[in-house]
Amino acid sequence: MENLFDIVGNTITIKPESLVVPEFRKIWERDKTKEKRKAFNEISYIVFLCNKSAKNPYKNYSESDRVVMLKKDFSIEEVDKLMLEGIDKYKKLKITRYERVVTAALDSLEYIEDYYVNARNQDKDKFDITEFLGSMEKLGKSIKSLRELESQLETDRAEGSKVRGDSEIGLYEIPK
């Protein structure tokens, strides 16, 4: 799936072979305008929502924040059934098992953030500073581990998209 869409700058490039995937072809074909602006925006929404690569300018936001920003940035009033199918297909084609595990771990940071925000709001009589500081120490180690996993994932993604000799992959070639 790495080669169906490219992120260049803050926009995506839709490659013709991506429209072989039924869900993306349906999104493309339902936009009857010559410019295909609506289709481009809907596919951009899907790619930027699901893509975790370093090139994605939205990758550092939680999924809920990305949804809000992407709807605004790409003028998406409602994510309809066809777009949900496109999201599901993109995830199935794009994400490896390893990537799903690392992504789940990274997404869990949102819950950890909530824990620390709520700890600040606890009743002072119930707040255990020793427990809190112990969890902070463990958090540092966890964040270091997550950064290493994220870095390895980025390395794996970059290696998976390289082509020897800076040549172009042909339309009917399958990258190794």
How many domains, in total, are found in the chain?
2
Domain residues for 53? Answer: 1-95
Kindly state whether residues 1 and 87 are assigned to the same domain. yes
Kindly state whether residues 112 and 163 are assigned to the same domain. yes
Q: What is the pLDDT of residue 12?
A: 84
Question: Averaged over 9-28, what is the pLDDT?
Answer: 89
Compute the mean pLDDT over every residue in the chain, rounded to the nearest whole number. 82
Q: What is the pTM of this model?
A: 0.61
Question: Averaged over 102-120, what is the pLDDT?
Answer: 80
Contact 10, 57 (CB under 8 A): yes
Kindly state whether residues 77 and 103 are assigned to the same domain. no
Kindly state whether residues 106 and 34 are assigned to the same domain. no
Distance CA 109, CA 95 (A): 19
Stronger pLDDT, 57 or 127, i.e. the higher one: 57
Kindly state whether residues 18 and 36 are assigned to the same domain. yes
- Least confident window among 41-55, 78-92, 120-134: 120-134
Instruction: List, in order, residues 6 or more apart from 129 with CB less than 8 Å away.
Output: none
pLDDT band at 26 (very low <50, low <70, confident <90, very high): very high
Q: What is the pLDDT of residue 76?
A: 96
Alpha helices in 7-161 (DSSP H): 22-30, 37-50, 63-73, 81-94, 97-107, 109-120, 129-160
**Residue 88 confidence (pLDDT) above 50:** yes
Q: Length of the chain in residues, anyone?
A: 176
- Least confident window among 55-59, 97-101, 146-150, 154-158: 154-158
Distance CA 77, CA 160 (A): 35
Stronger pLDDT, 22 or 142, i.e. the higher one: 22
Among the candidates 67, 95, 123, a domain finishes at 95
**Buried b vs exposed e over 145-162: b needs ≥16 C-beta within 10 Å?**
eeeebbeebeeebeeeee
**Residue 36 confidence (pLDDT) above 80:** yes
Among the candidates 34, 65, 95, a domain finishes at 95
Distance CA 56, CA 118 (A): 30
Q: To the nearest whole percent, how much of the chain has pLDDT over 90?
A: 34
Q: Count of CB atoms within 10 A of residue 90's CB?
A: 23
Question: Averaged over 57-67, what is the pLDDT?
Answer: 90
Question: Averaged over 46-56, what is the pLDDT?
Answer: 86
Distance CA 50, CA 94 (A): 9
Q: What residue type is assigned to position 3 of the chain?
A: N
**Residue 43 confidence (pLDDT) above 90:** yes
